[in-house]
Amino acid sequence: MALKIVKGSIDRMFDKNLQDLVRGIRNHKEDEAKYISTCIDEIKQELKQDNIAVKANAVCKLTYLQMLGYDVSWAAFNIVEVMSSSKFTYKRIGYLAASQCFHESTDVIMLTTNQIRKDLSSPNQYDTGVALTGLSCFVTPDLARDLANDIMTLMSHTKPYIRKKAVLIMYKVFLKYPESLRPAFPRLKEKLEDPDPGVQSAAVNVICELARRNPKNYLSLAPLFFKLMTSSTNNWVLIKIIKLFGALTPLEPRLGKKLIEPLTNLIHSTSAMSLLYECVNTVIAVLISLSSGMPNHSASIQLCVQKLRILIEDSDQNLKYLGLLAMSKILKTHPKSVQSHKDLILQCLDDKDESIRLRALDLLYGMVSKKNLMEIVKKLMLHVDKAEGTTYRDELLTKIIDICSQSNYQYITNFEWYISILVELTRLEGTRHGHLIASQMLDVAIRVKAIRGFAVAQMATLLDNAHLLTGNTQRNGICEVLYAAAWICGEFSEHLEDPMQTLEAMLRPKVATLPGHIQAVYVQNAAKLFATVLQKHEGESDSQVAQETSQLLIDRLPLFVQSANLEVQERASCILQLVKYIQKLQQKNVEVAEEVTALFAGELNPVAPKAQKKVPIPQGLDLDAWINEPPSESESEDEKPKAVFAKEEPKHSRTKHTEVDEKELARRREVRKQEQANNPFYIKASPSSQKVYDAPGVEHIPVVQIDLSVPLKVPGMPMSDQYVKLEEERRQKAKAERKKKEKKKKREKRGKERKADSGPESEEDIAPAHQVDIVTEEMPENALPSDDDDKDPNDPHKALDIDLDKPLADNEKLPVRTHRPEVLKSPADDRDSESFPLETKKKSSKEKKEKKDKDRKKSKEEKKKKKKQKEVEEEPLESQLEEAVQSEEIQEVASPPTSTSAEDVTAPPSVTTVSASSAAAPDSEPEEPKETEPEDTVSLQKLSKHKKKKQKKEKEEKEKKKKKRHHHHHHHSDGGGEDSVQNGTVEEEEEEPLPPMSNYSLLAENTYIKMVYDIQGNHQDESKVVVSVIFENKSDSFLKSMEFNVLDSLNSKLQRPEGAGPHDGLTVPFQLPPGVSNEARFVFSVQSIVMPQKLKGTLTFIVKSEDSSTHEKLDFRLHFTCTSYLITTPCYSDAYAKLLESGNLKGSSLRLEGINMPFHHLLARICFHHHFSVVERIDSCASMYSRSIQGHHVCLLVKTADQTVSIDAKCDEPSLLGNVLDEIKQTFSKC
């Protein structure tokens, strides 16, 4: 042995350490990869050695290689080995490596649970610290569940160093195991007032992080935070709190009012820029939430804007950046205050820092008015010309379009100018935003009727010069513009001066190089143009032109018929045939123009982008129901919109057209609609137009830069600049004219839905150049106003949306007693266990009703109630004890949140009470029998009164729902959810509720202390069970130095730490102040599990009162039942059947007489007390399964008839089975 150690350390001398590795890598720059691979081989050798120091060294090197991008997950097991070393040096290396490369799917993580638990309770605070740090990086849902209670205990550790780490890691635990939030929250809240500033800061940190995601649940903490804010001097804490308030204010405007003053004070007093900035930010948030009807806060706004101006003017780019960022928030609600700083912001546009320019651009959005739009855009266009990087240029482009198109083109007075801006933008090389320009062109052309003539002319020029846009490559983003151009020219072809020329331009061979979807639009619109040409020329004596046009199409279309793109091909061949037919008719001198034009007749209306989503589902329509089941009357209505939306298969859409017009017309329309259903911009104008088409998937077109060396100067294209001048002149003229008819206050009528302008610079004076008729977007009738469609369903924080003001329920305790409680519940099992809390609740609500009825006979009623409580309480004696663990917390939470100080700041009472009322009852009541003071009854009366009020209120609320909706929205939904769950269970089984149950049984008790315990098997270790003991201090004194000792038997032994003798006791890792209880766990190793066992033990402790301390002891007997070796394991019915068929199991049976309880109670009891799970249940017969820690299968078949229950059981270990059955019998004999 000694030789081995010596040999190990000699080996080590020649091992590379981390420094050697780094040095080696630096010396092998040419063949780094090769060198590293030899190093990895060496590391693999080192990991095979027994010497932990060698292993740790190897793991340390692996951590370095991981940073360089090497996957080291293969060494995960070795990392665990190093983690479990007893030396801090190695442990730290192990945890570091684990935190760098473990993640949820690392399977060895399962093995670490016990090690981590050991480290967490290590006497060395740095072992604990290292474990916490490591765990914070790789905590999994399993680890979180298993360790939640240990970590929670650490939150009250004596060392602040551990406390703050434990507090911080709780956030990670909550994320992975949301059930832990409610039980842990009271203690977390306590930590907000920890004497150590670091711990306090950590608690603030965690709560802020929680509240940021689900602010409404944390409103009740507002007074506490308010206190902290006014008292704390730690800037980190202040920043976090102030940020948190920023998230809370939108939910509670009254909070905002309170905040303004202290925040303003801070803004004036602080010298820390970071704090100042966050204060300004929160003030802005407050002002936003107060924006309506708060006239007195203009001073605050001024203050903010003024401070921000100082930031922006600062030479520090960071401050400048943040100043602009915050300014843009003010802009949304108080544009006028920001607009006065336009000079400063325009100045920032010229900043050398691109980030700052971008932020300034954001601000410009709100700076524009009718008066200065052209000027600002002109400036931006200059920047576009100057910009080097495409990213910034593209950003400029989108900003220009955003600015111009905002609020329905509110600020545009001259659309000719806008169109020419758009046309100018098409000159940008290699932009990604061709489709954006295109959609703007389409939008303007469709919605602004007056501009169509001009737009068409511009587009025709664009089409004529298409070669300049497309350049050499066909895959150029900007060619999207041609899509719009072609469509506009086709659709509004009546405005074209020379349709023939445009038609010719659209059918050039070069078009065939464009992307397919653009070609398709070309072909389709060529047909429209053709129709226009025909109509124009048909009346004339010489039909030469018309025939030439037909010929042109017939000549050119075959090119498209050969296209590889299906869409193009289909359209082209269809139209080609049509034209051929028309040509025949023409040759016979038949007038066809009218009929051809009718193909494309119809008017367009725009539809709002979210219109479809906002259509409410008609009452009684269940979208999930089978389509065939309901009678076919509803079909015509429901199916029509459906078919329209199936845009993938437009052919379906018109099969059921119900309009009964002229037959011929209807048929043609159908054809036309069918053809155009693929065009996103064709929107049917029928009154029931609840249709939306998504924009075509142009984003998928890869963007390749082209090197277009020749600047694009399209002949005859107007420059937008000239419009600026023209506009100026026009305004001058208008002004002069207006002066003439001064007194006539006839404002020009603008588009019907345009809002009254709130722009600053007397905008009303500027009349638009055109009589613009902006068609607003259509919305379906009775559209819903909700806008909640942007939430991410995968957000892990959703699970943390938990009401924290509700008192804890029995089932919410952190899983301490079970080592690995029900990993996979079978559905039946699940249902049973869920029904417990609900049913207690039901009972309490029943009570409530009774109380209400017998309200006046108070004294009588109370007696009754007490009786009732006793009835409820008698059985689950232990459940109280369970609760006692958290009794402190419960009391704290149970007191209605409205009673906290500074009522003004809390949520409106009705908000909290709605949720509290339903839940307050079940938990506060079980506690009452404990205290028998007269006070008790008083509080009860209060409680019942309270409830009545609440109930009334609820009723009222229902009536006034609409009025109050705003405030109570979310809480209502909470309550509603609960109701529905209850209903659900009631519907499922209309059976009596199940009383609460607990597995904790009394271990021993004297005047000082009470111990209850539960025993659970351990999944991973077939020879270990965990005994959880809850110690409750019943005295008024402090209990300390508790030692737990057990006299081992041959079969069962208490696991003692290394080095301890076989008779040494274990120190209980906590002390108990008066009235407090806490839980400790002890691991026992067992050899045989087929027989129950009893172990004698003693607890010794010191009772310390103010003046004296005495040594006390308490004897107890630990009873290891066979049940405690069983672990709830789900089993699926097919596996179960196989197991029974295998024939390896031996049978036994049991009859229980006079069982007077519902069957589901019976099953629930067996599941709960004896760790079974229900495999299948049919009527009054159920099969159940469980497994022992040593892998014995135990199967039960439970039947019931007339108060008799028969249990047929099978197991591969008959004596184990016999004992389990005996214990089951005992359980039921007790009741």
Residues 1204-1223 that bind another protein (CB under 8 A): none
Q: For another protein, give the closer residue by CB, 166 or 459.
A: 166
How far apart, in whole angstroms, are the C-alpha atoms of residue 516 and residue 915?
58
**965 CA to centre of own chain:** 24
Q: For another protein, give the closer residue by CB, 64 or 365.
A: 64
Q: For another protein, give the closer residue by CB, 89 or 722.
A: 89
Q: Which of 26, 29, 752, 791 binds another protein (CB under 8 A)?
A: 26
269 binds another protein (CB under 8 A): no
HSE at residue 1113, side-chain half, CA atoms within 13 A, is 11
DSSP string, 405-434: HHHHHTT-S-HHHHHHHHHHHTT-TT-S-H
Closest approach, Cβ 202 to another protein, in A, equals 7
Beta bridge partners of 1115: 1098
278 binds another protein (CB under 8 A): yes
Q: Of 66-74, 769-777, 816-824, 879-887, which part binds another protein (CB under 8 A)?
A: 66-74
1008 binds another protein (CB under 8 A): no
352 binds another protein (CB under 8 A): yes
DSSP string, 427-460: T-TT-S-HHHHHHHHHHHHHHBGGGHHHHHHHHH
How far apart, in whole angstroms, are the C-alpha atoms of residue 393 and residue 399?
10
Strand, helix or coil for residue 490: helix
Q: For another protein, give the closer residue by CB, 18 or 1140.
A: 18
Give the 3-state DSSP-derived string for 841-867, with helices as H, strands as E and coil as C.
HHHHHHHHHHHHHCCCCHHHHHHHHHH
Q: Which of 243, 949, 1034, 1177 binds another protein (CB under 8 A)?
A: 243
Q: Of 157-165, 338-346, 614-622, 896-904, which part binds another protein (CB under 8 A)?
A: 157-165
Q: For another protein, give the closer residue by CB, 54 or 488.
A: 54
Closest approach, Cβ 88 to another protein, in A, equals 5
Q: For another protein, give the closer residue by CB, 320 or 452.
A: 320
- Token pair of 1213, please? 């270990």
How far apart, in whole angstroms, are the C-alpha atoms of residue 683 and residue 693?
8
Q: Which of 533, 550, 537 is nearest to 585 (CA)?
A: 550
Q: Which of 1014, 1017, 928, 911 is nearest to 964 (CA)?
A: 911
Q: For another protein, give the closer residue by CB, 263 or 808.
A: 263
8-state DSSP, 769: S
Number of residues forming the site for another protein (CB under 8 A): 80
Q: Of 88-96, 438-446, 579-587, 691-699, which part binds another protein (CB under 8 A)?
A: 88-96
Site for another protein, residues 95 to 134, rule: CB under 8 A: 96, 100, 103-104, 126, 132-133
437 binds another protein (CB under 8 A): no
Closest approach, Cβ 122 to another protein, in A, equals 12
Closest approach, Cβ 524 to another protein, in A, equals 34
9 binds another protein (CB under 8 A): yes
- Token pair of 150, please? 């240990």
Site for another protein, residues 321 to 340, rule: CB under 8 A: 321-322
Contact call for residues 1194 and 1140 (beta carbons, < 8 A): no
Q: For another protein, give the closer residue by CB, 212 or 475.
A: 212
Q: Which of 1, 2, 3, 13 binds another protein (CB under 8 A)?
A: 13
How far apart, in whole angstroms, are the C-alpha atoms of residue 953 and residue 957?
6
Q: For another protein, give the closer residue by CB, 78 or 201.
A: 201
Q: Which of 1018, 1091, 1093 is nearest to 1053 (CA)?
A: 1093
How far apart, in whole angstroms, are the C-alpha atoms of residue 416 and residue 458?
10
395 binds another protein (CB under 8 A): yes
How far apart, in whole angstroms, are the C-alpha atoms of residue 908 and residue 216?
12
Contact call for residues 338 and 368 (beta carbons, < 8 A): no
Roughly what angle, to the nearest 10 degrees, separates helices 480-491 and 452-464? 130
Q: Which of 464, 444, 463 is nearest to 454 (CA)?
A: 444
Beta bridge partners of 896: none
Q: Which of 56, 116, 222, 921 binds another protein (CB under 8 A)?
A: 56
How far apart, in whole angstroms, are the C-alpha atoms of residue 797 and residue 791?
11
Burial of 1171 (0-12, 13-18, 19+ CB in 10 A): buried
Q: Which of 108, 110, 111, 137 binds another protein (CB under 8 A)?
A: 137
Q: Which of 182, 189, 320, 1160 binds another protein (CB under 8 A)?
A: 320
Closest approach, Cβ 596 to another protein, in A, equals 48
89 binds another protein (CB under 8 A): yes
Q: Which of 168, 308, 885, 940 binds another protein (CB under 8 A)?
A: 168
Q: Of 19-27, 465-473, 744-752, 781-789, which part binds another protein (CB under 8 A)?
A: 19-27
Contact call for residues 1092 and 1170 (beta carbons, < 8 A): no
The DSSP element (H or E) to which 1209 belongs, if any, is: strand 1204-1211
Q: Which of 35, 236, 645, 693 binds another protein (CB under 8 A)?
A: 236
- Token pair of 842, please? 């039901």
8-state DSSP, 16: -
Q: Of 6-14, 779-787, 994-1002, 1187-1195, which part binds another protein (CB under 8 A)?
A: 6-14
277 binds another protein (CB under 8 A): yes
Reported for 250-257, long-range contacts at CB under 8 A and 24+ positions apart, including other chains, are: 250/215, 250/285, 250/288, 250/289, 251/215, 251/216, 251/219, 252/219, 252/222, 252/907, 253/289, 253/290, 254/904, 254/905, 255/219, 255/222, 255/905, 256/285, 256/286, 256/287, 256/289, 256/290, 257/286, 257/290
Q: Please report where in the chains the tokens 């329509």 appear, as a residue.
A: 621
Q: Which of 317, 587, 1142, 1203 binds another protein (CB under 8 A)?
A: 317
63 binds another protein (CB under 8 A): yes
Q: For another protein, give the closer residue by CB, 180 or 201.
A: 201
64 binds another protein (CB under 8 A): yes
Q: For another protein, give the closer residue by CB, 37 or 973.
A: 37
CA dist list (Å): 1045 to 1002, 1055, 1061: 17, 11, 12
- Token pair of 1210, please? 């099978």
Strand, helix or coil for residue 374: helix
267 binds another protein (CB under 8 A): no
Q: For another protein, give the closer residue by CB, 13 or 756.
A: 13
356 binds another protein (CB under 8 A): yes
Closest approach, Cβ 320 to another protein, in A, equals 7
Q: For another protein, give the closer residue by CB, 27 or 544.
A: 27
Q: Which of 53, 376, 893, 916 binds another protein (CB under 8 A)?
A: 53
Site for another protein, residues 1072 to 1091, rule: CB under 8 A: none
Q: Which of 184, 327, 345, 358 binds another protein (CB under 8 A)?
A: 358
DSSP string, 691-736: ---PPP-GGGSPP------S----TTPPPHHHHHHHHHHHHHHHHH
Q: Of 5-13, 331-339, 1017-1025, 1195-1203, which part binds another protein (CB under 8 A)?
A: 5-13
Closest approach, Cβ 989 to another protein, in A, equals 42
8-state DSSP, 158: S
Q: Which of 1, 2, 19, 1059 binds another protein (CB under 8 A)?
A: 19
Q: For another protein, give the closer residue by CB, 199 or 505.
A: 199
Q: For another protein, give the closer residue by CB, 45 or 89.
A: 89
Site for another protein, residues 67 to 86, rule: CB under 8 A: 67-71
Closest approach, Cβ 109 to another protein, in A, equals 12
198 binds another protein (CB under 8 A): yes
Q: Which of 49, 156, 318, 811 binds another protein (CB under 8 A)?
A: 318
